[in-house]
Amino acid sequence: MLLALFAPALATEPRPEDRWDLSQVYPSVEAWEVGMSHAAGSLAELEPCRGQLAVKLESCLTRSFEVRKEVNRLYTYASNHSSEDTRNAEWRGRSQRAELLWANYAEATAFFDPEIVAMGLPGVEAALKATPGLAPYDHYLRSAARDAAHTLDPAREALMAAMSPMQGAPGNIRGVLADGELPFPTVKLSDGQEVRLSASAYTVHRAAPLRADRVLVFDSFFGALTAYKGTFAATLDASTTGHWINARTRGFATSVAAAMNNDHLPPEIYTTLVATTNKNLPTLHRYLKLRARRLGVTDLQYSDLYAPLVTGDRQYTVDQAKALTVASSAPMGKEYVELLKKGFADRWMDVYPQEGKRSGAYMDGAAYDVHPYVLMNYGGDYESASTLAHEFGHAMHSALSSRSQPYAKADYATFIAEVASTFAEALLVDHMLKNAKDDDERLFYLGSALEGLRGTYFRQAQLAEFELAIHGAVEKGQPLTGDSLDGMYLDVLQRYYGEREGVTHVDPKFAVEWSYIPHFYYNYYVYQYATSIAASSLLAEDVLTKKPGAVDRYLGLLKAGGSDDPYVLLKTAGVDMATAAPYDALARRMDRLMDQIEGIETKKAKAAGKKK
């Protein structure tokens, strides 16, 4: 049964249970400082391994991963505190120190991969057979040996590691500007409410029920970004150029080839995603026409894309969202549900927006011996409730992986990460639909599901095409400017949303949207949202239809962590992402959802006709 719905009171002083408890990582700043000193000193202990790795393999790998685990824990503590208030210079400084420590660790261990390459894959296999204690490191060893063609000599590997903080600098600069220092405008909505359009506020008010408010929000927010697009372009150009320098240095023909090789992903995954998504654009255009009809407009605008397909003031307190997430997870069994409840009870999450807080939402699972942490900017609507389920899908993945795998194999690839989060969203949608009390409520959740698929699949594939375009430009020696980025983004945007076909009008002034998206700094990250939701759709369908072995296969995927290549792990779970099948299946799922909506619309129209 659905819980009662009412608007949450977003207090300026959240309850203790609404703030994460970072003292579980380190009890105080002083303890963190002791950890920093200890980790920095531990780097020197790795030096005797240089030139001797083949004969000291087990002891050197054990010590290296112990130090790595501590460095990750230090960074989790500092960076999450910094996310609480991006304006706080002290915490930003601590976060930067932890980031530098990570770079120092990478530099201190830069000789590991070259020396493993020198052993050769036969030598690695022989060592694994002779030394049972190397079992936790088997995937790392085999992966390093397979990367011989792209591994540099120790001196150049050390130099690349030393430069790693500079690789993250453009994204950090962009974050400081976008989340802390950019003077976002304050607008007055139709109901008299005055709103400062920060990035978090924009994500809430872009879905305003009145079209005039949506136009005001879009024009004001993107107008503010346009004033700084030269700065955003400079940081994105620096970041993308850095990706290309790394790729060339390691002997890759393109940046995307280098990025995908990090997880040994077949390049066919990217090309198949783009090609199949373009083939399935008629499904997206059908959705957009449905959206126009539901909104009662004949000229669908880009600013209309986030208004709910079905109106309704459905609000959820964070406690209700937690309860719904738990209830929807019931098909996963007792172990999964109990661990989820523990995460809610043990303060894994920081819930509400605060002045200066990092925008959006994320899960940080790097503190292996503690637990995952979730940052939210909870707004009280269904999208916020769905985002909570999404982020705790990530958290469950990290928690189950950490429980099941040694540290060296617990960290899973991004390619798999978004499978767990979108799987949790699919469970939530199914739960809401099954418990809907009438067709109106059912329409609301069907519309939300459609919007989620549009945003997580088609939108992310669109962003993936743009990311391919900007890297291609840099690889040809073309600088990225505000105007050139606008042009490339608008070209993809108008093609996806059917500007030429008259489906949606995309005003060129919204081409600056590229500056709003931090993921472009992550080096080919966004395509994995699209691949992941395609995979999770198939996996969730198997679980929800009670296909034999489906729950065990999915839990096996989560518990596997990073114990094998992500492509292999997904194939073992039953999904081959190098084929068109998952993407075609997702398009069919969207069509089925639209069939249901149109069926309810037809039923309502007939009922209305009979009443007349």
Q: What is the pLDDT of residues 155-180, one digit of tens each?
A: 888 888 887 778 888 998 998 898 88
Structural domain includes residue 104: yes
Express each pLDDT in 341-351 by its tens digit.
Answer: 999 999 999 99
Q: Across residues 453-480, what is the average pLDDT?
A: 95
Structural domain includes residue 433: no
Q: Which of 100-109, 156-165, 227-236, 381-390 has the lowest mean pLDDT?
A: 156-165
Question: pTM, whole model, 2 decimals?
Answer: 0.82
pLDDT surpassing 50 at residue 137: yes
Instruction: State how far the alpha carbon of 271 is from the alpha carbons of 136, 257, 348, 519, 577, in Å.
Output: 34, 11, 38, 20, 11
Number of folded domains in the chain? 1
Q: Which of 12-21, 201-210, 275-284, 368-377 has the lowest mean pLDDT?
A: 12-21
Q: In what order do the strands lie in the sheet with 362-364?
A: 349-350, 373-375, 362-364
pLDDT attached to residue 1 = 23
pLDDT surpassing 80 at residue 611: no
| Beta pairing partners, 301 | 505
Q: Across residues 149-158, what is the average pLDDT?
A: 84
Express each pLDDT in 415-448 by its tens digit.
Answer: 999 899 999 999 999 999 999 999 989 998 998 8
| Beta pairing partners, 505 | 301
Domain range enclosing 158: 21-169
Q: Across residues 546-575, what is the average pLDDT?
A: 96
pLDDT surpassing 90 at residue 35: yes
In a 10 Å sphere around its CB, with 0-12 CB exposed, 13-18 middle and 19+ buried, how is residue 409 labelled?
buried
Structural domain includes residue 114: yes
Distance of CA 407 to the CA centre of its chain: 22
Structural domain includes residue 121: yes
Structural domain includes residue 385: no
**Tell me, what DSSP letter sits at residue 206?**
T
Residue 311, φ and ψ in degrees, nearest 5: -75, 155
Q: Across residues 449-474, what is the average pLDDT?
A: 94
Q: Across residues 280-291, what is the average pLDDT?
A: 96
Structural domain includes residue 90: yes
Express each pLDDT in 390-402 by its tens digit.
Answer: 999 999 999 999 9
At 106, the pLDDT band (50, 70, 90 cuts) reads very high
In a 10 Å sphere around its CB, with 0-12 CB exposed, 13-18 middle and 19+ buried, how is residue 9 labelled?
exposed
Instruction: State how far the alpha carbon of 494 is from the alpha carbons of 304, 486, 516, 609, in Å.
Output: 14, 12, 18, 39
Q: Which residue has the tokens 């690789």?
A: 167
- Rounded (5°) CA angle 75-570-117: 60
Which run of H or of E encompasses 112? helix 112-130
Q: Tokens in use for 381?
A: 């609507």
Mean pLDDT, the chain, as a whole number? 93
373-375 vs 362-364, strand pairing mode? antiparallel
- Return d(Cα 9, Cα 434) in angstroms, integer: 28
Residue 545, φ and ψ in degrees, nearest 5: -90, 5
**Tell me, what DSSP letter sits at residue 1?**
-
Q: Tokens in use for 15?
A: 């309850």
pLDDT surpassing 50 at residue 8: no
Residue type present at position 418: E
Express each pLDDT in 58-93 by its tens digit.
Answer: 999 999 999 999 999 999 999 999 999 999 999 999
pLDDT attached to residue 336 = 97
DSSP states of 398-435 as a string? HHHHHHHS-GGGT---HHHHHHHHHHHHHHHHHHHHHT
pLDDT attached to residue 4 = 29
With CA atoms as reference, report the closest residue to 399 among 358, 364, 439, 443.
364
Structural domain includes residue 526: no
pLDDT surpassing 60 at residue 5: no
Q: Across residues 598-604, what is the average pLDDT?
A: 91
pLDDT attached to residue 77 = 98
Is residue 121 within 8 A of residue 108, CB to CB? The reply is no
Provide the 3-class DSSP secondary structure of residue 575.
Answer: coil
- Return d(Cα 75, Cα 607) in angstroms, integer: 60
At 6, the pLDDT band (50, 70, 90 cuts) reads very low
Instruction: State how far the alpha carbon of 238 is from the alpha carbons of 138, 164, 224, 479, in Å.
Output: 36, 13, 22, 9
391 belongs to the catalytic site: yes
pLDDT surpassing 50 at residue 193: yes
Structural domain includes residue 119: yes
pLDDT attached to residue 416 = 93
362-364 vs 194-196, strand pairing mode? unpaired
pLDDT attached to residue 612 = 55
Residue type present at position 427: L
DSSP states of 40-65 as a string? HHHGGGGGGGTTTTTTSHHHHHHHHH
Catalytic residue among 70, 99, 115, 391: 391
pLDDT attached to residue 499 = 96
pLDDT attached to residue 154 = 84
- Rounded (5°) CA angle 593-595-447: 40
Domain of residue 104, CATH code: 1.20.140.70
Query: What's the Rg (C-alpha) of the chain?
Result: 24
Q: Tokens in use for 135?
A: 């079992």
pLDDT attached to residue 11 = 41
- Return d(Cα 321, Cα 575) in angstroms, integer: 30
With CA atoms as reference, report the closest residue to 49 among 64, 69, 67.
64
**Tell me, what DSSP letter sits at residue 505?**
B
Q: Across residues 580-609, what is the average pLDDT?
A: 90
Instruction: State how far the alpha carbon of 102 is from the alpha carbons of 67, 72, 75, 176, 255, in Å.
Output: 10, 8, 8, 21, 23
